[in-house]
A = this chain, B = another copy of it.
Amino acid sequence: MLKYDDVAEKIEHYIHQNQLSAGTQLKNIDALIHQYQVSRSTIIKALNKLERKGTIYQTQGSGIFVRQPKKSDYFSFIESHGFTRDLNNMPSTTKILQLDIIKPDSQLCQELQCDPSEDIYFIKRLRYVDNQIHCVEQSYYRKKMIPYINTEIASGSIFTYIKEVFNINIGFSDKYFEVNVLNEELAEYLSLPVNSPALFVNETFYTTAGDIFDFSKICYHFENTQFFLQSNTK
C-alpha cells in the first residue's frame, strides 16, 4: 500500500464520514503531516490526487476545501467502461448478444493496430443499470493478448477478469464521441424508435505498456443515461 494512496483514502473517508459540505475547510498541511506521520511531499501528493479526483480543491495562500460531490444518477464519463466499480451502488446486469472469434477488416486492423490474420474476440453486449437499458456495447479484444473469453466471463467485468487472470493492466484510453440517430438494429436493442438520438463512443484501450488490447463502440440510451465530468485547471 502506497503511503499517499493510504492518506488520500483516509482524508476522503473523513470527509464522507463527517458529511462535510462543499466549501468546508480542512486542516492545513502541517497539521495533516502531524496527523498522518508522513512527509510534506506525501501529503501534497495525496491532496493533489484528491484534487484531480474532484474531492477537494486547494487555494494557495488560503487553504484546502471540500468540493461539491456529483449529483447521483449521473455516470462518470471517464470511468464509464470500468463499469462495475463506481456506479452509485446501482445494480447492473449484462446480456450477451453475441460472442465470436473473427478476423478483423481493414478498418478494425487500424483501430487495433493489428495484423489481418490475428484472431479477434467480438463481443456484443446489452448493459442494464438499475433495471433500465443503459447501452449497447460492441467490443473487439485481441486474442493474442486475451487468449480466452466465454459468455460467463463476458457477463461480468471483462476488465477485472483480464487484470486478474492475465495480469494485463489498463494504462490509458482514447475516447472519440459524437451524437447521431439510431439505425434499426441499435434502436431495437435499446427498445427505442428508429432515429432516436444517441451518444456514440469509440474507445481504444491501451495496457500500461502502451499496447492496444481492446477497441469498443458503445451506444448509449439517451433517456436512461446522463453523464458527469469534473475538470481542473491544475
A209 CA / B74 CA spacing, docked (Å): 26
Interface contact B229-A78, CB-CB below 8 Å: yes
Distance (whole angstroms) from the CB of A229 to the closest CB of chain B: 4
A172 CA / B50 CA spacing, docked (Å): 13
Interface contact A176-B65, CB-CB below 8 Å: no
Distance (whole angstroms) from the CB of A213 to the closest CB of chain B: 14
Copies in the complex: 2
Q: Within residues 151 to 191 of chain A, which ones have a CB less than 8 A from any CB in chain B?
A: 169-181
Interface contact B179-A230, CB-CB below 8 Å: no
Interface contact B179-A222, CB-CB below 8 Å: yes
Distance (whole angstroms) from the CB of A54 to the closest CB of chain B: 8
A28 contact set on B, CB distance < 8 A: none
Which of B52, B62, B70, B209 makes the CB contact (< 8 A) with A62?
Answer: B209
The reply on A117 being an interface residue by CB < 8 A is no
Interface contact B175-A228, CB-CB below 8 Å: yes
Distance (whole angstroms) from the CB of A169 to the closest CB of chain B: 7
Query: A residues within 8 Å of B by Cβ?
Result: 22-23, 41, 52, 54, 57, 59, 62, 65, 67-68, 70-71, 74, 77-78, 169-181, 196-199, 206, 208-210, 220, 222, 225-233
